[in-house]
């Protein structure tokens, strides 16, 4: 259960461990898009969002992204499917180049991390702060409202033009919450506590 103490702990954020590999690719794509024009950045952002949704909904695309053993011809066919998922208007060269390099370097498995970090860069550019509250079950509206109020009082939120809070459900955390915002993560999940307990027990043996 989320307690008042849990909410108060949100004022003491911890650093989030992001993939440095994913950040390298997302930053390159972001800088190339913005250097061309804000409209290009918007287009690439839209394409990556569409691709992310397609990967999550399509077992074939998901399998392609996560399979590092595919031949060159299979990767080519898979990339064409990725580009098609980007939208009917024709995929941008920046998005094509991004996935070509990921494929050639054997980094397609980093795709979701690249897209997530790209979205964070775009949100920062727009002055937006996206907050994701992960819980084992959907949070009640009043609890989510209290969390939003607390988060808006943080220094990070006050520097943003707008704050968007969403609730993501992940039964694997068992209970409690995990809050991701900006480059911070606050892990108040039961799973985190169990992991820490197991570590302590192993150290004492």
**DSSP states of 76-144:** HHHHHHHHHHT-TT---HHHHHHHHHHHHTT-GGGHHHHHHHHHHHHHHHTTEEEEEEEESSPPPHHHH
- Mean pLDDT computed over every residue of the chain: 83
CA angle, 162 then 52 then 130, to 5°:
15
Number of Cβ within a 10 Å radius of residue 201 = 9
Residue 28 has pLDDT above 70, yes or no: yes
**What number is the average pLDDT over the span 94-109?**
93
Which residue do the tokens 């790209």 mark? 118
Residue 158's alpha-carbon distances to 51, 137, 150, 184, in angstroms, are 32, 29, 11, 15
Helix (H, G, I), strand (E, B) or coil at 13: coil
What DSSP character marks residue 12?
Answer: S
What DSSP character marks residue 53?
Answer: H
What whole-number distance in Å separates Cα of residue 145 and Cα of residue 40? 35
- Comparing 30-39, 85-94, 114-123, the range with the smallest average pLDDT is 85-94
pTM of the model: 0.63
Number of Cβ within a 10 Å radius of residue 55 = 21
Q: Please report, rounded to a whole number, the percentage of residues in the chain having pLDDT higher than 90.
A: 35
pLDDT of residue 6: 41
Asked if 176 and 6 count as a contact pair (C-beta separation under 8 A), the reply is yes
What whole-number distance in Å separates Cα of residue 86 and Cα of residue 10? 36
Residue 54 has pLDDT above 50, yes or no: yes
Per-position b or e across 94-125, b if 16+ CB within 10 A of its CB? bbeebbeebbeeebbebbbbbbbbbbbbbbee
pLDDT of residue 8: 40
Highest mean pLDDT among 12-16, 32-36, 147-151, 181-185: 32-36
Q: What are the pLDDT digits (tens) for 139-177?
A: 888 888 888 888 888 777 777 777 888 898 999 888 888
pLDDT of residue 1: 40
């Amino acid at each position: 259960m989320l307690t008042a103490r849990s909410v108060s702990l949100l004022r003491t954020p911890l650093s989030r461990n992001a993939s440095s590999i994913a950040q390298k690719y997302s930053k390159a794509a972001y800088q190339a898009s913005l250097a061309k024009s804000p409209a290009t950045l918007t287009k690439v952002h839209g394409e990556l969002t569409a691709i992310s949704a397609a990967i999550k909904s399509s077992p074939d695309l998901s399998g392609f992204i996560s399979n590092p053993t595919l031949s060159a011809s299979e990767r080519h066919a898979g990339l064409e499917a990725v580009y098609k998922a980007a939208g009917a208007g024709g995929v941008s060269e920046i998005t094509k180049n991004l996935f070509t390099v990921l494929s050639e370097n054997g980094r397609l498995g980093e795709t979701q991390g690249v897209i997530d970090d790209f979205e964070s860069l775009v949100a920062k550019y727009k002055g937006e702060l996206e907050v994701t509250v992960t819980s084992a079950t959907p949070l009640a509206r009043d609890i989510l409202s209290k969390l939003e109020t607390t988060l808006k009082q943080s220094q990070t939120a006050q520097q943003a033009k707008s704050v968007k809070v969403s609730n993501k459900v992940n039964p694997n955390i068992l209970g409690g919450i995990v809050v991701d915002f900006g480059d911070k993560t606050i892990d108040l999940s039961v799973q985190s506590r169990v992991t820490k307990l197991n570590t302590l027990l192993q150290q004492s043996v």
